[in-house]
Amino acid sequence: MKKSAEQVRFAASLKSIARNQSIKQYIQTNPLLSEVVSRGAKRFVAGETRQDGLTRATEYLQQNHRISLEFIGENTMSKQECITAKEELKQLIVEMGEVAEEGTVSFDLSHIGMMIDEDFTFDQLSELAKVAKERQITLMISMEESEKTDQILSLYERVAKVYANVGITLQVHLYRSDIDLQRILQLNGRIRLVKGAYQEPEMRYIKRSETLNARYIDFVETCVKAHHELSIATHDEQLLQALGEKGLLQADQVEIEMLDGVQKNLLKTYQQNGCQTRVYITYGTEWYLYVLHRIAEYPENVYTLIADMVERK
């Protein structure tokens, strides 16, 4: 569905606010404001602890969905904090391996060292990949702002040559992504296709449109023809319908992935129609950026956010 001009402006404003550290600090350090906003965030974030995330995951596993869990965090500038994040992810991998088949752990490379040193990040990533392989868990590297894409793909290629259980996210809206897709199809890791949520310079990306949807379909077709493991990560009903009409949703190597708290009934419908489904669950204290991006992607989410902030449950 095409967004109105007002929705486009609203989404762009939210993405700008999401990157404003002064606003973020003000919200998170004001006890009353933080409590109210975090109450609304709980629809999109399982909680602040690993147990919160695993508890939410268990609920979806009982509904026969696959799950992906993310410990939220990015742009970490301290080596010790990066090591702490890696240790949290490692423990998450171990515990997920005990409860979920075909489970995925997702994360940003900038959370485990990419803003500091590439070799340090590779060592951290390799350690996680080794533990994940032992537990039959897939690691999914998230994509970040476009200026980080080359570094992310470089690290991905290095680790994927050793560990086939590491996948990569690709943002379809970036003009460069058609070339990047051909590059990563040479590797064995799962590809997760998203439209893209980050605010980018206009010359780098395609705006939400029928053109972008057509491009997304082309990318899916390319992956399916290559028999590549694929996660279709979208809540766009028209796009999913178009993919279904082309017979692309029920291929053995394809799954539909949706975010926790968004379009639950739609995902259930596709599951009942024989599609593989996955729910993307997040936890952690760094929920601010994540929640604002969820609203920017689908502005109608602001209604439920405000209602959740007001209603005490």
Q: Give pLDDT tens digits for 82-104.
A: 999 999 999 999 999 999 989 99
Q: How many domains does the chain have?
A: 2
Reported as a single tens digit per residue, the pLDDT across 102-112 is 999 999 999 99
Indicate if the pLDDT at residue 6 is higher than 60.
Answer: yes
Q: 139 and 213 share a domain?
A: yes
Query: What average pLDDT does the segment 185-189 reach?
Result: 97
* Neighbour tally for 211: CB within 10 Å: 11
Q: 35 and 116 share a domain?
A: no
What amino acid occupies position 136?
Q
If pLDDT is split at 50, 70 and 90, which confidence band does 151 have?
Answer: very high
pLDDT the model gives residue 308: 56
3-state secondary structure 201-249: CHHHECCCCHHHHHHHHHHHHHHHHCCCCEEEECCCHHHHHHHHHCCCC
Q: 36 and 128 share a domain?
A: no
pLDDT the model gives residue 285: 84
pLDDT the model gives residue 152: 98
Q: 87 and 55 share a domain?
A: yes
The CATH number given to whatever domain includes residue 93 is 3.20.20.220
Reported as a single tens digit per residue, the pLDDT across 64-84 is 999 999 999 989 999 999 999
At CA 115, angle to CA 113 and CA 116, rounded to 5? Answer: 65
Q: 250 and 304 share a domain?
A: no
Q: 275 and 179 share a domain?
A: yes
Reported as a single tens digit per residue, the pLDDT across 189-218 is 999 999 998 889 999 999 999 999 999 999
Instruction: Please answer whether residues 84 and 118 qualify as being in contact, where contact means their C-beta atoms are separated by less than 8 angstroms.
Output: no
pLDDT the model gives residue 299: 59
Query: In the predicted model, what is the mean pLDDT of the chain?
Result: 88
Indicate if the pLDDT at residue 310 is higher than 70.
Answer: no
The pTM of this model reads 0.86
Q: 130 and 120 share a domain?
A: yes
Q: 36 and 105 share a domain?
A: no
Indicate if the pLDDT at residue 142 is higher than 90.
Answer: yes
Indicate if the pLDDT at residue 181 is higher than 60.
Answer: yes
Domain extent, residue 212, equals 45-286
Smallest CA-to-CA distance from 222 within 244, 196, 193, 197 is with: 193
Reported as a single tens digit per residue, the pLDDT across 255-277 is 999 999 888 999 999 999 999 99
Reported as a single tens digit per residue, the pLDDT across 19-77 is 556 766 656 676 765 665 666 667 789 999 999 999 999 999 999 999 999 999 989 99
pLDDT the model gives residue 199: 81
pLDDT the model gives residue 306: 55
Q: 32 and 173 share a domain?
A: no
Q: 114 and 24 share a domain?
A: no
Indicate if the pLDDT at residue 18 is higher than 60.
Answer: no
Q: 81 and 9 share a domain?
A: no
Cα(258)–Cα(280) distance, integer angstroms: 6
pLDDT the model gives residue 164: 96
Q: 164 and 175 share a domain?
A: yes
Indicate if the pLDDT at residue 309 is higher than 60.
Answer: no
Instruction: Please answer whether residues 11 and 3 qualify as being in contact, where contact means their C-beta atoms are separated by less than 8 angstroms.
Output: yes
